[in-house]
């Protein structure tokens, strides 16, 4: 009974090992020259020193296990073991069960090349595999030389934390004309308003303010004109252009309506006066 249990356990171990992904052999080369062979289940980690960004690193790994076809996930991962990862996607020969990839050093992210060591892992995984049967194994360590790290000229990006104090420099208020200039323009605008009233009074005489059907339009027109004049006076004295445009747009409509009616009434009055004389 004990013998049969031992035999069954041995067969189970054999089946699991046959199904699980593992490394049979492999190699790491630099510029076409083999640097070392990958020894499965070895505790020793081989290191390769990188001297230039023009060098080419080649990886070749022979898998064993259930590899009748390419694993669903197959990557060589370059990492600093601290969150910086860069994955490559090797080609896979189903006949030889071999994953191969070559990469120029200048294709490795500068953030990794600025580190003292770059770890290279292989990942072989498939959804059909059970937990523990996928492969994640360290293959080698790449050691960028000091000259290589200096040539990368990588600057670590700013993260959250204390930053230098920001000092705001506000521009001075733009220079404007002397106060006497807007006062002169305001006086001219007011004078033109009285010139308008005077010219009307000259044309129609005292009948300008005679109470008739046109008096509301005359009063409304003169009022809107006075308000427009007042708006421009405020602009000359310092109001913003947007405020001036806003109030002028509001007053423009009533001024046109009252002006049209008032001018028609004045024309009618003038016709009557000329006919009576």
Domain closes at, from 99, 134, 149: 149
pLDDT tens column, 156-168: 777 666 777 887 7
Is residue 189 situated within a structural domain? Answer: no
Name 34's Cβ contacts closer than 8 Å, sequence gap at least 6: 27, 28
pLDDT above 70 (res 173): no
Mark whether 215 and 123 lie in a shared domain: no
Give 15 or 259, the one with higher predicted confidence: 259
Question: Last residue of some domain: 149, 171, 186?
Answer: 149
| Same-domain status, 218 and 131 | no
Most distant CA pair in the chain, distance:
146
For residue 178, is it within any domain?
Answer: no
Among 51-60, 111-120, 184-193, the minimum mean pLDDT is found in 184-193
Q: What is the pLDDT of residue 160?
A: 66
Which residue range is the domain that position 81 belongs to? 20-149
Cross-strand bridge partners of residue 189? none
Q: Is residue 4 part of a domain?
A: no
- Whether residue 51 lies inside any domain: the answer is yes
- pLDDT value for 3: 38
Q: Is residue 191 part of a domain?
A: no
| Residue 222 maps to a domain | yes
pLDDT score for 12 = 38
Is residue 43 domain-shared with residue 113, that is, in the same domain?
yes
> Has residue 240 got a pLDDT over 60?
yes
User: What's the number of domains the chain is made of?
Assistant: 2
Mean of per-residue pLDDT scores for the chain = 79
Per-residue pLDDT tens over the stretch 9-39: 343 343 344 457 888 899 999 998 999 998 8
Looking at residue 83, its pLDDT comes to 85
Out of 103, 123, 149, pick the residue that ends a domain: 149
Residue with tokens 């523990």: 132
Give me the phi and psi of 134, to 5 degrees please: -80, 165
Do 258 and 142 belong together in one domain? no
Say if 38 falls within a structural domain: yes
Residues 64 and 137 in one domain: yes
> What are the tens digits of pLDDT across the range 213-228?
667 887 888 888 888 8
Residues 30 and 98 in one domain: yes
277/273 Cα distance (integer angstroms): 6
Same domain? 121 vs 218: no
Examine the domain organization and report whether 137 and 226 are in the same domain: no
- Kindly report the CATH number assigned to the domain that includes residue 36: 2.60.40.10
Residue 232 included in any domain: yes
Overall pTM surpassing 0.85 (yes/no): no
**Exposed/middle/buried for 78, CB within 10 Å: 0-12, 13-18, 19+?**
buried
pLDDT-wise least confident of 34-48, 71-85, 163-177, 257-271: 163-177
Reported confidence tier of residue 64, pLDDT bands at 50, 70, 90: confident
Same domain, 141 and 28: yes
Asked if 23 and 65 count as a contact pair (C-beta separation under 8 A), the reply is no
Question: How high is the pLDDT of residue 10?
Answer: 43
């Amino acid at each position: 009974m004990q013998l049969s249990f031992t035999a069954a356990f041995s067969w189970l171990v054999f089946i699991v090992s046959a199904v699980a992904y593992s490394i049979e052999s492999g190699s790491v080369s630099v510029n076409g020259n083999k640097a070392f062979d990958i020894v499965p289940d070895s505790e020793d980690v081989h290191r390769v020193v990188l001297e230039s960004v023009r060098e080419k690193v080649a990886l070749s790994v022979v898998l064993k296990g259930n590899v009748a076809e390419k694993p669903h996930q197959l990557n060589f991962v370059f990492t600093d073991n601290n969150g910086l990862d860069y994955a490559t996607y090797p080609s896979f020969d189903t006949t030889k069960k071999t994953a191969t990839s070559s990469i120029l050093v200048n294709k490795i992210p500068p953030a990794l090349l600025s580190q003292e060591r770059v770890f290279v892992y292989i990942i072989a995984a498939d959804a059909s595999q059970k937990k523990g049967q996928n492969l994640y194994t360290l293959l080698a360590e790449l050691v960028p030389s000091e000259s290589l790290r200096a040539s990368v000229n990588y600057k670590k990006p700013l993260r959250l934390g204390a930053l230098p104090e920001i000092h705001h420099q506000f521009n001075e208020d733009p220079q404007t004309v002397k106060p006497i200039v807007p006062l002169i323009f305001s006086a001219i605008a007011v004078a033109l308003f009285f010139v308008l009233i005077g010219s009307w009074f000259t044309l129609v005489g005292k009948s300008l303010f005679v109470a008739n059907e046109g008096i509301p339009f005359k009063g409304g027109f003169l009022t809107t004109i006075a308000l427009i004049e007042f708006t421009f006076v405020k602009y000359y004295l310092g109001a913003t252009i947007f405020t001036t445009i806003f109030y002028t747009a509001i007053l423009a409509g009533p001024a046109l309506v009252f002006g049209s009616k008032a001018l028609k009434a004045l024309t009618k009055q003038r016709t009557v006066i000329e006919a009576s004389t």
